[in-house]
Amino acid sequence: MLAAELIDPMLPALKPTDSVGQALDWMQEHRIGQLVLIDQGDYLGIVSEELLLDVGDDQRPLKNILHLFEQVYVYEGQHLYEVLGMVMQQRMDVVAVLNEGREFIGTVSTAELLRQFAQELGVQESGAVLILSLNERDYSMAEISRLVESNNVKIISSYFSSAAYGMPDRSRLTLKLNRQDITAVIATLERFGYQIEAAFANTPVESIDQERLDSLLRYLNT
């Protein structure tokens, strides 16, 4: 999914002639802490509620305080993951989307972005989540997929988290599967030397795997 497809048509864009008070009212109405500022299609920046509250004059036009605004944007052809990376890095509530001519075409909200990202990961799908702990040099998605699918189970989505520097055995691979009963999958992966760090399913995970899950839950609750 591309940035142009993530645009929220309900989010307004501010104009330089709008006042600080108008901007704050719109932010309150849409329950968002930032809005985009444009001038006849040209993108000028992101207006932040936090900064506007410090201005002290609700009647002051936004064009008089342009130096306060963040110049954060993405292009319409950038992928969802790139947009999400930008939003998380800059800690934004919204991000402006520009076309190749650098003209403003719309606003993406973080809430919509995260909703679409969750759908991409298959979060809404029924099924178990399996977390593997492995050495990066042993990571082969093709091999892991073959082992999982040998039990008539499909991988809906996956996420690989690299190990911290100096800890090559602590990389993690998170798998979202299309089945709830994953006992056979766990047994297959362990038989081929894969370490199961945790498993989350609606049906019990047997023996030592249930013990690992219980230990992880106790750790998270401390």
Q: Give which of 60, 61, 56, 59 is closest to 44, Cα–Cα.
A: 61
Q: Give which of 33, 34, 35 is closest to 12, Cα–Cα.
A: 35
148-189: pLDDT as tens digits:
999 999 998 888 877 665 555 578 888 989 888 889 999 999
Question: What is the average pLDDT across 29-48?
Answer: 91
Query: Angle 204-209-215 (CA atoms, 0-180°, nearest 5)?
Result: 100
Q: pTM of the predicted model, to two decimals?
A: 0.65
Residue at token pair 């992101």: 46
Q: What is the pLDDT of residue 215?
A: 54
> Is 107 or 89 the better-scoring residue by pLDDT?
107
* CA distances to 12, 63, 157 from 32, in Å: 11, 21, 30
Domains of the chain, each with CATH number or no CATH: 3-119 (3.10.580.10), 125-220 (3.30.70.260)
In sequence order, the β-bridge partners of residue 174 are 131, 159
Please say if the pLDDT value at position 204 is more than 70. Answer: no
Highest-pLDDT range among 18-22, 91-95, 212-216: 18-22
Q: What is the pLDDT of residue 163?
A: 66
Q: Give which of 54, 34, 56, 55 is closest to 45, Cα–Cα.
A: 34
Please say if the pLDDT value at position 147 is more than 70. Answer: yes
Residues 33-58 as b/e (b if ≥16 CB within 10 A, e otherwise) read bbbbbbbeeebbbbbbbeebeebeee
50-78: pLDDT as tens digits:
889 888 888 999 988 876 667 789 999 99
